[in-house]
Structure 1
Amino acid sequence: MDSVVQLQRQLVDYSAQLFNEGFLDDQFNQLQQLQDESNPDFVVEVVTLFFEDSERLLDELAKALEQQSVDYRKIDAHVHQLKGSSSSIGAQRVQKVCIGFRNFCEERNIEGCQKCLQQVKHEYSLVKTKLETLFKLEQKILAAGGTIHWPM
């Protein structure tokens, strides 16, 4: 049972680190509170949908920014969608970059948009890796017979 307690401590510390470093905000806690025995994989399912949607949007953004004639309204719509979905799971750093991205769309600033796309891709990649690590820790705890109580 000591290993379970150790894993639970690791999970608490890792989760706190994600909030302290601004990767996640309170929306993620609210998402976790919606998870219960009747839907034990709720958070993983929602976040997996976020990953799939984000990767599609990032591809669309990259393609749209490569066009000869850039459609800033289309780009802004994609960024707005990415901002909303990142906000809904509490991916705070992705959401913040999207806000700046939208400003560059409004200004029709191609260099700013391209720079923001790289920043969004970077922040998305970081939060995806961090959340996958968090979920693996949760799985280790459950596999060892432990329990998880959110928010931590």
Structure 2
Amino acid sequence: MAAAAIRARLDYLVTSMFTTGMLDENFQQLRSMEENGTAALGYVTEMINLFIKDTKRILNDIAGLLNQPVVDYDIVDVLVRQLKGCSYSVGAKKVNLSCMQFRRFYEPRSKERCLMALALAWNEFCEVRSKFEAMMQLEEQIAAYGPN
């Protein structure tokens, strides 16, 4: 498959991620920085990889806290704020929205509601991660063709 065809697939994937509300303008700003040279080549991929690693760790930490007999909701709140920051930094809008939902469930300090919110956050993360991984694979294929 020619680089132009792969580029078209990548553009379609990114457009569909915006259309479905998976991404917001923060992601576009990251891409623009890389495209206009204000960020190093590979910056977006690095940010995505950090997002994936950090989000997975945070979600696992929250799950561990919620599985304790007595939940420290203050630490859960700190972790949800970190998760919100991670998702905001790459424009992962659906994950960010799930954090806002989580905060609503955190307020009454309901373990059951927090577990439901955690499941939603995991689902949104898995969906975004899958699309990001597909995006990075397409970018690798394009890079294999060499400079434009």
TM-score (norm 1): 0.90
Residue in 1 that maps onto 2:143: 142
| Identity over aligned pairs, percent | 34
**Aligned partner letter, 2:114:** C
**Pairs aligned (count):** 146
Aligned pairs for 1:1-152 within 5 A: 3-35=2-34, 36=37, 39-145=40-146, 147=148
The answer to whether the Cα contact below 8 Å between 2:33 and 2:39 also exists between their aligned partners in 1 is no
Gaps in structure 2 of 5+ consecutive residues: none
The answer to whether the Cα contact below 8 Å between 1:73 and 1:105 also exists between their aligned partners in 2 is no
The answer to whether the Cα contact below 8 Å between 1:7 and 1:137 also exists between their aligned partners in 2 is yes
Runs of 4+ in structure 1 deviating by more than 3 angstroms, as ranges, are none
Distance in 2 of aligned mates of 1:31 and 1:38: 8
- Cα distance, 1:69–1:17 mapped onto 2, change above 3 Å: same
Residue in 2 that maps onto 1:150: none
RMSD of Structure 2 on Structure 1 (CA): 1.5
Distance in 2 of aligned mates of 1:92 and 1:10: 21
The answer to whether the Cα contact below 8 Å between 2:25 and 2:91 also exists between their aligned partners in 1 is yes
Distance in 2 of aligned mates of 1:3 and 1:95: 35
**Aligned partner letter, 2:18:** F
Distance in 2 of aligned mates of 1:26 and 1:19: 9
**Cα displacement string for residues 21-42 of structure 1 (whole angstroms, at most 9, x for unaligned residues):** 1111110011112223872111
TM-score (norm 2): 0.92
